[in-house]
Amino acid sequence: MMSKEQQKLLYEISMIDFAIVELNEYLDTHPYDTESVQYIAQYNRVKNKMMREYASKYSPLAVRYAEDESEWSWTMTPLPWEGGCN
Amino acid sequence: MKDCMFDEKQRYDDFPVAMAYVPWQKTNETYECLEKAFEEGTLFPILNKPFTGRRCV
């Protein structure tokens, strides 16, 4: 079962990821909108930081964030359909 | 905002019939609070058109 702190971080990652997807769709049709280009770049940096934090504190949400040294935690933590997200 | 791909001067009457056209999104204004955007389902207030089962609000 997830701790409150872990749930909070996961929720924050979901929020920022959603904003990135929204900006991505907007930029696909407005590629010259510099303000939005800087906006998404900033969010990407923040998201990557949060993903690395989540991986180091709990487990990687994506394999590219895995930083294990002894065992491969990717397969040992519950998957979403195993209740890994709530 | 540098003009996007859609050419405003193109007159709608020149468009072929029976085709759907979506007006261009002209504003990049976003919700300040990301949690609000996440709950509303859009980052852009202008796109926030909740379907309430009857007329759109």
Nearest CA-CA distance, residue B14 and chain A, Å:
22
Restricting to A residues 12-41, those with a Cβ less than 8 Å away from any Cβ of B are 14-16, 18-19, 22-23, 26, 29-33, 35-36, 39
Q: Which of A13, A24, A22, A21 is nearest to A47 (CA)?
A: A13
Q: Which residues of B touch A13 (CB under 8 A)?
A: none
CA distance B10 to A34: 25
pLDDT at B7 over 70: no
Q: Which residues of B touch A15 (CB under 8 A)?
A: 34-35, 37-38
Identity of the residue numbered B32? E
pTM over 0.90: no
Both tokens of residue B17?
Answer: 């019939």
Chain B: residue nearest A32 by CA?
B2
User: At how many degrees (to 10) do helices A4-29 and A34-57 cross?
Assistant: 150
pLDDT at B4 over 60: no
Greater pLDDT, A38 or A75 = A38
**What are the phi and psi torsion angles at A78 (to 5°)?**
-60, 140
Greater pLDDT, B2 or A56 = A56
